[in-house]
Structure 1
Amino acid sequence: MLGAALAAALSAASGPAAAEALRAGVFDPPRPAPPFALRGSDGETLDLARYRGKLVVLAFGFTSCPDVCPTTLGVLASARKKLGARAADVQVVYVTVDPERDDAARMRGYLAAFDPTFVGGTGDPDALAAVREQYGIVAAKVAQAGGDGISHSSYTYLIDRAGRLRALVPYGRTADDYAHDLDILLRE
């Protein structure tokens, strides 16, 4: 659902101020982030309404990812540090694409290595597939040395305090890029 509209929304961003201000791809106009309810790595129900009033950085990945996921989480942890005290108004949410291996306890330990405030989301395969579909995330098992891995979409979403999709950040952006965009959204 969101995947098809995603490319159109990002390419149709016509507001020059918004396009120049944020370094990430902008949703213009912003639209409500699709809702979901998963098991949180903190033992609570994970849904976006829980973080209304904060910015949410929504990422998808898995705990045994060898490269993209730990790189992204490290960058997000660094970006939060750059924000100083304002980082308290930014919540990183990391939804697994590997429900067979990633239970809440495993995600909690994995995410704590990057930043103890990060919250993971897991659930049954159907629930997670529905969330991925809502956000246009593709994930597929692939054979790798040492066992199966998962190839998946590697962008992140920036969701504003009102629960609206504001930006899509491609893999490879720096902590400075994230801090820049989060700073702009925090000042709104």
Structure 2
Amino acid sequence: MKTVHLILWGAIAAGLVLFLWLNIFQDASHLIEDNSSQNTAVAFTPTFSLTDQSGNAVTEQTYRGKWLLVFFGFTNCPDICPTTLADLASVMEQLGADAKAIKPLFISVDPDRDQLETMAEYVSAFHPAIVGLTGTGPQIAETAGSFKAYFEKQPHESAPDGYTMGHTSAVYLVSPDGAFVRTYSYGTPPEEIVTDLRQKL
């Protein structure tokens, strides 16, 4: 009788393992597959009409022929923006002679505070190749929509003027013909970006 019980319990255990594998692990691998498919880049061509930190009117056409590294942020950003711009500066340094094919753009999502002089001083602190762009509220909103980027004004008592900005933290890679290629998520090591860019140059 004891042997029969052991066999039955063994069969139940084996059935449970099979059930879990079919219903949980298989589902988990399906979810991973779905997530990866969502991250597949969908081609689109972003557009903008803004002003650079020197006061020049620029559009997406101004930078045709260059690979663009585009980041949305604001000069009062306490962490994500300075970290990302420092990473982009490192990318440009590591690229060496290949950097001439790349143009990093920092697009402000806070046009009320990010005036031209502020933008010029801010981006120049990171790397001379980085161009700061700003514009009117509607221009910024249109530009962000074109890149499918998010930004939002958020009340914050301890921040300058009582607010901060929530925004997309990824860096957009745009091809020399103006098409969106991919994003680099926040915190992607500069070395990885450099390796990817060199494969594309």
**TM-score normalised by the chain length of structure 2:** 0.76
Number of aligned positions between the proteins: 164
In structure 1, the gaps of 5 or more residues are 1-7, 13-24
Question: Larger % of helix: which?
Answer: 2
- Residue 88 in 1 paired to residue 100 in 2? yes
Q: Which of residues 161, 168, 173 is equivalent to 2:183?
A: 168
CA distance, structure 2, for counterparts of residue 160 and residue 185 of structure 1? 9
Q: Which of residues 66, 69, 73 is equivalent to 2:78?
A: 66
Number of the residue aligned with 1:106:
118
- Residue 39 in 1 paired to residue 51 in 2? yes
In structure 2, the gaps of 5 or more residues are 1-33
Q: 1:144 to 1:79 in 2, by over 3 A?
A: farther
RMSD after superposition: 1.8
CA distance, structure 2, for counterparts of residue 150 and residue 32 of structure 1? 25
CA distance, structure 2, for counterparts of residue 91 and residue 26 of structure 1? 24
Number of the residue aligned with 1:17:
none
Identity %: 34
Question: Larger % of strand: which?
Answer: 1
CA distance, structure 2, for counterparts of residue 58 and residue 126 of structure 1? 19
Q: Does structure 2 retain, via aligned residues, the 8 Å contact 1:160–1:185?
A: no
- In the TM superposition, structure 1's runs of 4+ consecutive aligned residues that sit over 3 Å from their partners are none
Larger Cα Rg: Structure 1 or Structure 2?
2
* 3-state SS of paired residue (1:27): coil
Using the TM superposition, give the Cα deviation of residue 121 of structure 1 relative to its aligned residue in structure 2, in angstroms: 1.1
CA distance, structure 1, for counterparts of residue 40 and residue 176 of structure 2? 16
Give the structure, 1 or 2, with the largest relative contact order (CA under 8 Å, sep 6 or more). 1
**TM-score normalised by the chain length of structure 1:** 0.81
Number of the residue aligned with 2:4:
none
